Every structure is written in C-alpha cells, then in structure tokens.
Structure 1
Amino acid sequence: MHVALGYAGPPAWTLSRVLGSWQLEPAVVTISLVAAVAYLIGVVRVGRSGVGRSGGGSWPLQRTVAFFGGLALWIVVCCSGLGVYERYLFTDRAVQAVLLLMVVPLLLALGAPVSLLVQALPERLRPRLEAALAGRVSRVLMFPLVSTVVLIVPPWLFYFTSWYQNSLTSSAWNIAFHLGFVAFGLAYFWPRLQIDPVPHHYHPLLGVLITIAEVIFDAALGFVLVFGGHLLASHYWDSLHRPWGWTPEQDQKWGGAVLWGLGDIAGVPFMVALIIRVVKEERLRTRAVDEELDRIEQEAASAAPVTVASTSGSGTGSATGSATEADKVAPAAPVAVPEQPETSRPWWETDPRLAHRYGSARDAED
C-alpha cells in the first residue's frame, strides 16, 4: 500500500465513510440550535395567542417541518462526511456549495420564519418590525434584480478569488463559506417565494423567467470549471499529496459537473413551488373575478324597475264609472306589421344574382 509522505487527511473516500464520519462545526451547530429554539418558542406563542393562519390558531405543520429540515440538512452538510472531506476533494466542496446555496435556504424560507416572528411578537413591537421590512433598505435588497445577483455572483466570487483557497487553509474563511452561502440563499429565496412579508410583490411568472437566467449562469460556471483548463488552488493540491482518488484535474472536472447538474436539479423544487404558487394565485384571482361579477349582477337586478300590475281598487268601482272610464280610453292605433319576406321559395329564386333566370318562370306559373 502506497502512502504519500506528509498526508494527514482522512482515508480514501467511500460512501460508508462519508455516512459514518462526523466532525463538529461549532458556528453552524450553535446557530442551528438557537434558531430551532426560537422557532419553537414562536410556534408555541402563536398557538396560545390564536393568531395562526390555520388549525384554529396553530402554526402550519408543514412550515415547521420545512424549517427544521433545513436546519438538519445544514448540520449534515457541514458536520457529516461532507464536512470531513471538504478540504480534500474539490467535488465534495462543490456538493456543499449547491446544498448550502440552493437547498438549505429554500427549506428555511419555506418555514416562513419572518411571518412567525411577526405573529409571535407582542402587539407593541409588530409595527416596528413591519416598518423595517417595508423600509428603503429592504426594498433595495429584495428587489428582484438585486436578489438574483446575490445568488448568482457568490459562487463565481468563491471559486475565482482567494476565498476558495483560503477556505481550504483557514477555519475562519471556511466558516464564512458555511454561513455566507446560506445567508446569500436566504436573501434570494425570501423575496422570491414571497411567503414572508416583502416590500415588493410581483407575479410568480417573473420568478420563472429569472430562474431560467440563473440556470444559464450556473451552467456557465460549471462549463468553465470543466473545460477551462485551469486548476484552481493548484499549489494547495500539489502540497496535499493525497494518495487516493482522482487527480486534482479530474476532481475539478467532476466538481464542475456537479455544480452544473446538481445545481439544476436542486432548482427543481423551487420551480415546483413557483408553479404551485402561480396556480394558487390564478385560482384566487378567478374566484375574486367571479365574486365581483356576481355582485354586479345582483346590484343590477336589484336596481332594475319592477312593474307590478295593480288592479285592486279599480275593480270595485261602479259599472257606470267603469263604462265611463272605458269610453275615455282611445282606441289603439293600428300597428303596422312589416311584410314578411317570402320564405317558401328556393334560395336561388330569391338570390339577386340568379332571380332573373328562375324568377320569371315562377312568376309565370303564379
């Protein structure tokens, strides 16, 4: 068995080792635990106050499941075998990048934590939070173009600046990667899903168009990493002396393919969420239009004049009086009835273009 001198990393990558290896990422675990406790407190407060959106005041269960699923996935990505091998395989880091930027924030945003916070806060504090959410800073950060840039640009900055190599050698930069990508993803999915309060409301179809543009940029990043011919952090990989797995060049190509393919796959749940939202909004809009039309018809029917033939009182008068009144009624003028066109003849006898051929014969018979 060949063992390279100076290599002090984990053994060869296998699925069982990835599933069975764990490490502690204090920042991620601490933030996740605090967020979980705060979320549970909010759910309890909403349930007690009875201001929830469903279940007679209870917070929707699917929101809670989505939020805790996002926290659990965040811990798994950073503390499981994916975190153990993140500094030894380019592909491993690429998987982390997709999950931290696209999947974890999506699940957290589906949990609607801001809406929960608004409902759980005391009445006196809600106006302040709502004012902050509708303020100028929020309007700028949540503008569709800005939120799209927040999602597209970080992967390019990560791989094509010193951030990537620093994350391989510095714990602080690595933590910035674990936290920053989730923060960027939240800044994107929050205004795009529009589940939580946002200053800008726009049609979900615009989100579909933006998503198509994002797919193009993701594909471009993967294309550059696969076919660019330039090895990122080459000095680090040369000094690592990893004795197993792909060569650094092969590893980067596979990592670029992961960013390309897995990034598109990870965007499918978001597209599904957008489509579901489009369908729901169209149903609500159709229902509102139908209700408005029904209201207009009812108002028109109630405003229409109602003619009631009232004969009570006049029928009890004397015969003489009735005759007198009848004499006063002028006879109705004859109504001119327009002459109805003859319809018994065949059409070719009444057609102006053919009447001169067939009409004379018919007239002769008559």
Structure 2
Amino acid sequence: MPSETVPAPPPERRSTSSTVGVLVVTAGVLAALIAAALTALSAGSSYALLGLPDPGPITHYGLPVVRVTAESGAVVCIGSLLLAAFGIPAKRSGALAADGYAAVRTAGWAAAVWCVGAALMVPFIAADATGRPVSDVLNTEVLFGLVDALEEAKAWALTAFIAFVVALACRVALSWGWTVVAFGLGLLGLFPVIATGHSASGGAHDIATNSLLFHLFGAVLWVGGLVALLAHAARRGAYLPLVARRFSRVALVCWAAMALSGMINALVRVSPGQLFTSTYGLLLVLKIVGLVVLGGFGYLQRRSVVRRLDGGAGGSALLRLGAVEVLVMFATIGVAVALGRTPPPAGSATVPGRTELLIGYPLDVPPTPLRLLFDVRFDLVYGTLALALAALYLCGVYRLRQRGDSWPVGRTIAWLCGCATILAATSSGIGKYAPAVFSVHMGQHMLLSMLAPVLLVLAGPTSLALRVFKPAGKEQPPGPREWLLAFVHSPVTRVLTNPIVALALFVGSFYALYFSGLFDVALTQHWAHLAMNAHFLLVGYVFYWPVIGIDPAPRPLPPMGKVGLVFASMPFHAFFGIALMMSQTVIGANFYRSIDLPWMTDLLADQRLGGGLAWASGEVPLVVVMLALLVQWSRADSRAARRIDRKADADGDADLAAYNEMLRQLAEKDTPRSS
C-alpha cells in the first residue's frame, strides 16, 4: 500500500507559524534581559545581607537568565497541553485531532527546554546559596553534597525530573486521556519551586505559599494558554472561535486569581509605605502595573477579538493583540524573577519566633473548645475550595430552577454541610492548631476523611453537573459534559472505585502515613500538609462514592456488598485508634518538641487523645452511612411500587390477573372430580 504524503502547509501558514516562534523567543530574551538587569540592582546588597561573598557576575546574570529559560519552557509546555486537552476538540474516538497533536508536540519541545533549564538551575542555586562561583560547585561530589543540604536545589532537581517525564509523555501521547495526564504532570512540576523561596520561609509562610500557589498557576495557565492560542491561530487551526472563547473564560479567572493572590502575597512581605522606598517595593509596583495592563488586554480580547472571530473574521486581529500581550506577559515574568531574587525590605515584618518559623504563625495559648471553633485562620487553598464548591453547586441548582427543573433540597443541604465541614476543618481553630497539636490534627483528619466525603457523595454532584451541562450535538465538539463522562468512566476511576482498592486506600493509608515515618517527614513541609488534606478528602470520597453515593459508580455494588464494605473497614479503623492509644512512642516527636509550646507538656498523652478521637469518630460516619442506606433502600422500594402501580393502571392489572388465573388452574388440577 503506498504511503500517504502529508501536504506541506502553504507558505503563508508556515511564515505565520514561524512568526509566533520568533515572538516567543523574543519575549523570552526580553524577560531574561529584564530579570538580569533588575536583579543586578540588588544583588550586592543581597549577599551582604546574608553575610556571603560575592559569587561573581556569572551567577549574578546567569541565574535569572536560566530561571527565565526554565519558566518560559514550563509556560509554553503547560499552555500547549491545556490547549490540546481542553481547547481543541478531540475526535469522538478519543484520539487527538491534528491540531491537538501539533500542540502536544510543541509541549514536548517546551518540556525539554524546561528540563534543561531546571537542571541548570541546580548548580546556579548552589553557587548562589554559598557565595561561590559556579565553576567551584560543578564538581560532582561537591554539587551532590550541596543539593542534599539545599531545599531549593532539591526542588529544581525534582522539577527537572518531572519535566523530563512530561517531555517523554508528550512524545507518545496520541489520545485525549493521556494528554490530560501529561497536563496534570506539568502542573505537578510547578509544586517543588512553589514550596521554596521567600514565600516558604519566615512568618506567615502558610499564607504566602498558598497565595503563591494561586498566583503561579494563574500566570502559567494564562501566559501559556495565550501562546498556545496564538500558535493555533497561526496554524489556522479548526474551531478557532470556540478555542478563543474557552481561553477567554480561563484568562478571566486566572487574572482574578493572580490579582488577589498577588496582593495577599505582597502584604505578607512588604508594608504599603515601603512600596516606593525599597527595591523590592518598586519591583512589586512594576509587576502590578504589568498585571493591570494585561487585564486591559484581556478585556479587549473578550470584547472585541472573540466577537469578531464569532462573526467569521480571521485570526489576524487576535495575532496582533496577542503579540503585544505576550511581550508584556514575558516582561512581567522577568520582573517576577527579579522580585524573587530580591530580599524583602528590612523591618517589613517582626522577627518570627520558633513556632512561627515552623508553622507560619504563633500559638501562644492552648486550644479550648471555643478557640477550636472560632479562632479563625482562613486557609487560602481549602477555605477557597470549600466556598467555590458551594457557590458552583448553588449556581447549578439555580440554573436547573431557571429551566423549570427540580433538584432535591436534601442534596443541596448535604453539599453545603460537606463544604462547611471542609471549611471548619481547615479554616477554623481546628485548622489553626492542627499543624502543631497531634490530637487536633487527628480530629481534622477524621473530619476530612470520614465526615465531609459522606456529605459530599450524598449530594450527587456529578448528576447535577450532567443535568446542567448540555450534551454536545452529534456533529459538535465535545464539551464539559463529555469531559466529565470520560473521567467518570476512565480506567483510573474504575480502578480506584474497585471495592478492594477503595478499602485498601481508605484504611491502609492510616497505617502507611502514621506508622512508617512518613508523617514525621511531612510535618516540617507546608506542601505536605496540603497534600495530606487532599489525600484524606479524595480517599474518603472514593470509598463512600460506591457505598452511598447518589451518582452512579463505575462499579455498582449490590446492597449487601455496600454494607459489607462499610463493616469491613470498621475493625481496621478501630485497631488504628487503639494502636495510637497504646503506643509508647510519640509520632513526630522531634517536630513537636522543636515547636516547644509551653502549654504542651505531655506529647504522649496528646497522642493518646488523638487515638481516642480516631477510634470514637468511626462510629459517626457508620451511623450516617447506615441511615443513608436505609433511606435509599426505602425510596427504591417506593419507586418500584409506584412503577408497578403505573404499569397496572396502564394494562388493567394484567400481571395480577394472569397470576390469579394461574392459581385458579392449579387449584382446579388439585381438586378431585366428583363421580
């Protein structure tokens, strides 16, 4: 069979595509020059402040240039994967369309740049942290020793590894599902760097790190998404108006997230009076100006360009406006890199104590029931998540009501109670004391893994979303409804909801976390606390979904299987609590002793209290689950009875008549005939 030849793109199309490539390279060079120039203004004072010798101009100028290179690769990689996964419609078979495949290939090359840049950052970070020239730390033995001692160097090494995996994934990804996986890996690659730097140390580092999480994710999705959109327009890709509308919605959310999180992060590090009296403050003002300008470009894009695309116009206007926007975006990245290299002004915050250095804030008084309820410290990640989930659910119910459809009030109440449980567990006094007090942490663990998931699955969020989102037509590109269905029926979801897997994750994670030494390591890292809370929520949801969930599970269980799964978890959970109460070894002893809270005198007694909470709290979800199962079975019987009655009314009760006739015939056969 003769092989098909792919026709070469028209000269004009090749020229436009190469123009976008030149634009990105130019923007990256601009960002690198800005970062290097602005960093040089404060480099000498930074080393003097830290008491380090000057490592020389190669480190001065090379480090920001290399960092801009790495971050530019990350931006283009993640933006291209975002476009391929959720911008360009895939085929109905699940295979990527030609434009989606082109975006994934671009992401692969960008991931390679990201990987090389992140790997080069390791020796530069080592040289910068020790005040030595880069050439002095390139010795393998010296470099490995420094990497082992420097958290930021470890973070960049891990980032390089993740970027390498993403690059490999982009080379082999041909389907929509694997593109989504590669996109998730790309986002994961941002976490190690977020957990280091100015925001991860000093006072209020919990707020600073959480705000940086929103800020960096918003920036990467916005900047990378725009670059990918311009590349798609340059290729004259299909569905350009649809892709532009989807990106416009993402850009609006990202801009709002960047603006709010950037303001919060800035207030942690600098006072308003220092904005114009320090180098750090002036760089921050430059970044704010860039963000405001970008907001204006985003408004023009949504109001003018997208409307013109919907009217059938070409993408030339989008390319013109987007080119200027990309240049401003990358210039802002350069300012941000310089800001990260500049120490905050002296006197911008009080000297933190030991507790504040370890968890981000002081704890001067012991917890009491009132303090656990009302001593609020809002968690920017999970507090925002709880509020956003509640708002989205209410918006979905409102849209159904607007269409004249009904939605059970009980499900709405269950969802709001589940969101309130997440909010209370992370943003009340429980969330404030949990990082420093084991018993409070265990109470938080039980709320997030045992109570909140039960309430959330009873609300049927997937069923609500499937009713709100309209299905795409036969000839229309897939949308949110199709994405959700693909996720629910994906192999990963089927594996996780397997009863054995769900049970092993739900009860096995208790033992793996607390009795393996993993908890001791996680206590010192803020990102690990975020990961633990996410694990508790997700594992609990996966376990209770097939048991009492309103949404159809990928692996439906029979009624007795549901009861058996719940009762199978009880002995493991009870034994976990008893093991904690009987243990003579304090879990996380080094960390809790280093905090040195004056009112925490008996760590073993506090651990036994936490074990008692774990043992006793297992009864509450069991009662809720059994009540929910009884109600569901009762309603199922009622629905079956109503269905039988409707059928009887429709056919004149033919089934009952046939049954009575069969009994009459049997009776006649058994009755002896009279002679």
| Structure 2 equivalent of residue 177 of structure 1 | 532
Q: Does 1:18 align with 2:372?
A: yes
Q: Deviations over 1:159-194 (max 9, x none)?
A: 123442244322111111222211111112222213
> Measured at CA, do residues 286 and 80 of structure 1 come closer, stay the same or move farther in structure 2, by a change above 3 Å?
same
Asked whether the equivalents of residues 151 and 185 of structure 1 are also in contact (C-alpha less than 8 Å), the reply is yes
Matches within 5 A, 1:108-257: 108-124=456-472, 125=479, 126=481, 129-245=484-600, 247-257=602-612
SS across alignment from 1:197: coil
> Measured at CA, do residues 70 and 298 of structure 1 come closer, stay the same or move farther in structure 2, by a change above 3 Å?
same
> Which letter maps to 1:140?
V
| Structure 1 equivalent of residue 410 of structure 2 | 62
Q: Does 1:265 align with 2:620?
A: yes
> Which letter maps to 1:37?
A
C-alpha separation between the residues in 1 aligned to 2:484 and 2:597? Answer: 51
1:139: how far off?
2.4
C-alpha separation between the residues in 2 aligned to 1:228 and 1:75? Answer: 31
Moved more, 80-89 or 141-150: 141-150
| Structure 1 equivalent of residue 115 of structure 2 | none
> Measured at CA, do residues 213 and 337 of structure 1 come closer, stay the same or move farther in structure 2, by a change above 3 Å?
closer
1:249: how far off?
0.8
Runs of 5+ in structure 2 lacking a partner? 1-352, 356-361, 473-478, 663-672
SS across alignment from 1:267: helix
C-alpha separation between the residues in 1 aligned to 2:642 and 2:398? Answer: 34
Moved more, 222-231 or 277-286: 277-286
> Measured at CA, do residues 87 and 337 of structure 1 come closer, stay the same or move farther in structure 2, by a change above 3 Å?
closer
SS across alignment from 2:523: helix
C-alpha separation between the residues in 2 aligned to 1:24 and 1:301? Answer: 68
> Which letter maps to 2:622?
G
Runs of 5+ in structure 1 lacking a partner? 51-56, 304-335, 339-366
| Structure 2 equivalent of residue 100 of structure 1 | 448
> Which letter maps to 1:204?
P
Moved more, 168-177 or 39-48: 39-48
1:58: how far off?
2.0
Asked whether the equivalents of residues 457 and 549 of structure 2 are also in contact (C-alpha less than 8 Å), the reply is no
> Measured at CA, do residues 94 and 129 of structure 1 come closer, stay the same or move farther in structure 2, by a change above 3 Å?
closer
1:36: how far off?
2.3
Q: Does 1:71 align with 2:419?
A: yes
> Which letter maps to 1:241?
D
Asked whether the equivalents of residues 42 and 120 of structure 1 are also in contact (C-alpha less than 8 Å), the reply is yes
> Measured at CA, do residues 202 and 283 of structure 1 come closer, stay the same or move farther in structure 2, by a change above 3 Å?
farther
| Structure 2 equivalent of residue 341 of structure 1 | none
> Which letter maps to 1:77?
A
| Structure 1 equivalent of residue 384 of structure 2 | 30
> Measured at CA, do residues 250 and 235 of structure 1 come closer, stay the same or move farther in structure 2, by a change above 3 Å?
same
C-alpha separation between the residues in 1 aligned to 2:367 and 2:674? Answer: 99
Q: Deviations over 1:16-75 (max 9, x none)?
A: 32233111211112222322232122112222334xxxxxx1222111111111111211
> Measured at CA, do residues 157 and 283 of structure 1 come closer, stay the same or move farther in structure 2, by a change above 3 Å?
same
C-alpha separation between the residues in 2 aligned to 1:38 and 1:65? Answer: 14
1:254: how far off?
1.2
Asked whether the equivalents of residues 194 and 201 of structure 1 are also in contact (C-alpha less than 8 Å), the reply is no
Asked whether the equivalents of residues 205 and 278 of structure 1 are also in contact (C-alpha less than 8 Å), the reply is no
C-alpha separation between the residues in 2 aligned to 1:88 and 1:159? Answer: 15
> Measured at CA, do residues 300 and 82 of structure 1 come closer, stay the same or move farther in structure 2, by a change above 3 Å?
closer
Give every structure 1 segment of 4 or more consecutive aligned residues whose post-TM-superposition deviation is greater than 6 Å.
289-293, 300-303
Asked whether the equivalents of residues 163 and 173 of structure 1 are also in contact (C-alpha less than 8 Å), the reply is no
Asked whether the equivalents of residues 514 and 587 of structure 2 are also in contact (C-alpha less than 8 Å), the reply is yes
Q: Supply the RMSD in Å over aligned alpha carbons.
A: 2.8
| Structure 2 equivalent of residue 358 of structure 1 | none
> Measured at CA, do residues 156 and 300 of structure 1 come closer, stay the same or move farther in structure 2, by a change above 3 Å?
closer
C-alpha separation between the residues in 2 aligned to 1:60 and 1:197? Answer: 17
SS across alignment from 2:618: helix
Calculate the TM-score normalised by the size of structure 2: 0.41
| Structure 2 equivalent of residue 325 of structure 1 | none
Q: Does 1:43 align with 2:391?
A: no
C-alpha separation between the residues in 2 aligned to 1:129 and 1:179? Answer: 20
Asked whether the equivalents of residues 376 and 432 of structure 2 are also in contact (C-alpha less than 8 Å), the reply is yes
C-alpha separation between the residues in 2 aligned to 1:62 and 1:167? Answer: 38
1:134: how far off?
3.1
1:244: how far off?
1.6
C-alpha separation between the residues in 2 aligned to 1:263 and 1:153? Answer: 15
Name which of 290, 294, 297 aligns with 2:656: 297
Name which of 619, 623, 635 aligns with 1:280: 635
Asked whether the equivalents of residues 443 and 613 of structure 2 are also in contact (C-alpha less than 8 Å), the reply is yes
Identity %: 27
1:93: how far off?
0.8
Bigger relative CO (Cα 8 Å, ≥ 6 apart): 1
C-alpha separation between the residues in 2 aligned to 1:104 and 1:58? Answer: 25
1:286: how far off?
5.8
C-alpha separation between the residues in 2 aligned to 1:44 and 1:107? Answer: 20
C-alpha separation between the residues in 2 aligned to 1:195 and 1:46? Answer: 18
1:290: how far off?
7.7
> Which letter maps to 2:423?
I
Moved more, 128-137 or 166-175: 128-137
Moved more, 201-210 or 74-83: 201-210
C-alpha separation between the residues in 2 aligned to 1:92 and 1:158? Answer: 16
SS across alignment from 2:364: coil
C-alpha separation between the residues in 1 aligned to 2:459 and 2:524? Answer: 34
Moved more, 191-200 or 94-103: 191-200
C-alpha separation between the residues in 1 aligned to 2:628 and 2:659? Answer: 41
Q: Deviations over 1:268-316 (max 9, x none)?
A: 211211222233334445666788894323457899xxxxxxxxxxxxx
1:128: how far off?
5.5
